[in-house]
Amino acid sequence: MRFGISTASMYPQLTEDTLRLYGEWGIDCAEVFLNTLSELEPSYLRMLAGIARDSGIKMVSVHPFTCAFEPFMLFTGYDRRFCDALEWHRRYFDGMNQLGAEIFVFHGDRAQGTLPEEEYFARFAALRDLGREYGVTVAQENVERCRSRSLPFLLRMRDYLQGDLALVFDNKQAIRSGIDGEEFIRVLGREIRHVHLSDHNQEKDCLPIGMGEMDTGRLLRLLKESGFQGAVMEELYRESYSSSQELREGYENLQKFGKKLA
């Protein structure tokens, strides 16, 4: 199990500046949130890869800026747009190869989407299989505003795909969806390949690790017992902390919890 921070935690600071800062902090690994079209240019990706290499950071995952458009790109009745969207994702997967990242974070259709479930699952499988051509794992994240907010939906997705499903578990999104995070891990732990983690209390559902009331150690133990061997990313919103030092302390707390698992 590895521990890192998502560059999204410092949005809207430029991604390359965030990655340099993480290098100064000695961060072991990171998730890169690509925020705009120009950040898929080979020259930009080479720059990011160079920063990570010089800083000793392993880039394990990529979060695409087009996640907001996935319902329109991939989950309407207009088949030609779906085919074009698949081809568009080749740019992401090729870019991930340049960065050395292996996990592609996927949101999917909005909760109000009307595409039949089996068609949703089949389209996800097509994207999953395309990713594999590049050595990339396309992983469905549980997101409150999306169909993946539902635990029964994800269970039906797993069954339809005969267990060939990778998931990103986000505990703050689970809270917002009314799902107990520990129950999520107990039910779908074998499918979890990547984790977005934050702390919380009665007032706020997203805080730096160790600054809320969550039993982080217990959650990590459950992940370990489920067989999880991926990366756990501290992922926060900018309004979730008052200074970058709090973000760093959260990562350091996460590392401390991780060492206790050994």
Neighbours of 228 (CB within 10 A): 21
pLDDT of residue 261: 86
All domains in the chain, ordered by first residue? 2-259 (3.20.20.150)
Those residues whose C-beta lies under 8 Å from the C-beta of residue 118, and which sit 6 or more positions away, are: 160
Average pLDDT over residues 175-185: 95
pLDDT of residue 56: 95
Identify the band that residue 82 occupies on the pLDDT scale cut at 50, 70 and 90: very high
Average pLDDT over residues 45-71: 96
Average pLDDT over residues 204-214: 95
Q: What percent of the chain has pLDDT over 90?
A: 98
pLDDT of residue 219: 96
Query: 66, 37 in Cβ contact below 8 A?
Result: no
pLDDT of residue 188: 97
Those residues whose C-beta lies under 8 Å from the C-beta of residue 235, and which sit 6 or more positions away, are: 5, 6, 8, 9, 31, 170, 172, 196, 197, 198
Long-range contacts of 120-127 (CB under 8 A, 24+ apart): 120/75, 120/147, 120/157, 121/156, 121/157, 121/160, 121/161, 123/74, 123/75, 123/82, 124/157, 124/161, 125/161, 125/164, 126/86, 127/74, 127/86, 127/89
Is pLDDT above 90 for 41? yes
The tokens describing 102, both together, are 């292996």
Is pLDDT above 90 for 262? no
